[in-house]
């Protein structure tokens, strides 16, 4: 994949988050003008001592803040849309952001979706992504969907304070992926010298291997030096063990169904997208643990 600097401005939403900030740094390194769209300007990443003169930060209250979103996207050829935090009206928020991109005159939208997005996906949050994808298609915008698997970091965050990773995943497998690999694939798509080759494309972005949660726990045990185990649950047990969190029903359904999706084999497929787009192997879960010890330091005793 050939990367070129320059070209139209990219609006990077969620730029203060983990994925958005990693992408912003990569675009800056390639000399690409961008607009960082954040909720809090003070949390926007600092892109070096000599930031690009055409790069800037715009703060908005959220995707549903229509006037601010239109203003944020105006003058940008491409919008990189990071999916909103899970909420009861997540799809509505996504539609508002897409509408703002259209109203602002953006030509292309690259959306961070999820593997297996479908109206009947086992993982309930993947259904939100499908509805968003369908809405993007309906607008006529040039678009590309990056369907990511679960994050490596997310697997580490699934472990409870007692060192147990519990859920109804059975012996299913998950091809989790690193934020770095997603950011590198996104950079390649956004700055391809022949951008239209990605129009209408959907890319599954995964890690290099599919692990059972027993294997995930074993790798975490090696890294942390403590015993971390996987405890399979029934679906009923999973809901019961999370009842004390006081989370809304839709959120608990998302948590539990992520394990059910693993059990069903919906997250097991390994793609070659990272290797094809970056010309290097995707980062494994064990490699991520070596590279980002601060991300799982809470698991040490």
pLDDT digit string, tens, across residues 196-254: 999 999 999 999 999 999 999 999 999 999 999 999 999 999 999 999 999 999 999 99
Q: What is the mean pLDDT of the chain?
A: 94
- Overall number of domains in the chain: 1
Q: If you ran DSSP here, which 8-state letter would residue 286 be given?
A: H
- Is residue 167 included in any domain, yes or no? no
Instruction: Look at the alpha carbons of 125, 129, 130, 135 in this order and tell me if their dihedral is positive or negative.
Output: positive
Q: Which whole-number Å values give the CA distances from 268 to 150, 155, 209, 261, 280, in the listed order?
A: 11, 14, 8, 9, 21
- Is residue 199 included in any domain, yes or no? yes
Does residue 82 sit in helix, strand or coil?
coil
- Is residue 128 included in any domain, yes or no? yes
Could you tell me the two tokens for 73? 């996207």
> What is the band of 53 on the pLDDT scale with cuts at 50, 70, 90?
very low
pLDDT at 8: 86
CATH number at residue 190: 3.40.50.720
Q: Which whole-number Å values give the CA distances from 143 to 78, 103, 108, 147, in the listed order?
A: 9, 16, 5, 13
- Is residue 224 included in any domain, yes or no? no
- Is residue 100 included in any domain, yes or no? yes
Mean pLDDT of 265-286: 98
- Is residue 116 included in any domain, yes or no? yes
- Is residue 157 included in any domain, yes or no? no
Region for 225 from its dihedrals, namely left if φ exceeds 0, alpha if ψ lies in -120 to 50, beta otherwise: left
CA 274 vs. chain centroid, Å, equals 14
- Is residue 27 included in any domain, yes or no? yes
pLDDT at 44: 85
Region for 163 from its dihedrals, namely left if φ exceeds 0, alpha if ψ lies in -120 to 50, beta otherwise: left
Segments forming the whole domain that contains residue 80: 10-148+179-205+270-281
Give yes or no for a contact between 111 and 82, defined as CB atoms under 8 angstroms apart: no
For the stretch 107-151, pLDDT in tens is 999 999 999 999 999 999 999 999 999 999 999 999 999 999 999
């Amino acid at each position: 994949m050939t990367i070129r600097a320059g070209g139209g401005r990219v609006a990077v939403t969620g730029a203060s988050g983990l994925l958005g900030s990693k992408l912003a740094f990569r675009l800056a390194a390639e000399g690409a003008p961008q607009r960082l769209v954040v909720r809090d300007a003070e949390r926007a990443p600092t892109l070096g001592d000599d930031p690009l003169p055409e790069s800037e930060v715009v703060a908005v209250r959220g995707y549903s803040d229509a006037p601010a979103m239109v203003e944020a996207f105006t003058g940008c050829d491409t919008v990189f849309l990071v999916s909103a935090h899970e909420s009861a009206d997540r799809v509505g928020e996504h539609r508002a952001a897409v509408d703002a991109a259209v109203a602002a005159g953006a030509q292309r939208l690259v959306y961070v979706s999820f593997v297996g997005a479908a109206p009947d996906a086992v993982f309930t949050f993947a259904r939100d992504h499908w509805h968003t994808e369908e809405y993007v298609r309906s607008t006529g915008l040039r678009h590309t969907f990056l369907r990511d698997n679960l994050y490596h970091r997310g697997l580490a965050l699934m472990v409870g304070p007692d060192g147990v990773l519990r859920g109804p995943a059975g012996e299913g497998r998950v091809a989790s992926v690193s934020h770095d690999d997603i950011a590198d694939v996104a950079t390649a798509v956004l700055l391809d010298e022949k951008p239209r080759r990605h129009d209408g494309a959907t890319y599954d972005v995964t890690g290099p291997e599919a692990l059972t949660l027993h294997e995930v726990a074993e790798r975490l045990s090696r890294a942390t030096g403590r015993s971390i185990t996987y405890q399979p649950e029934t679906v009923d047990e999973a809901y019961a063990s999370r009842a004390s969190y006081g989370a809304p029903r839709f959120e608990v359904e998302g948590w539990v169904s992520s394990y059910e999706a693993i059990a069903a084999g919906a997250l097991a497929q390994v793609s070659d997208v990272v290797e094809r787009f970056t010309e290097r192997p995707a980062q494994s879960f064990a490699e991520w643990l070596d590279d980002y010890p601060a991300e799982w330091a809470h698991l040490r005793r």
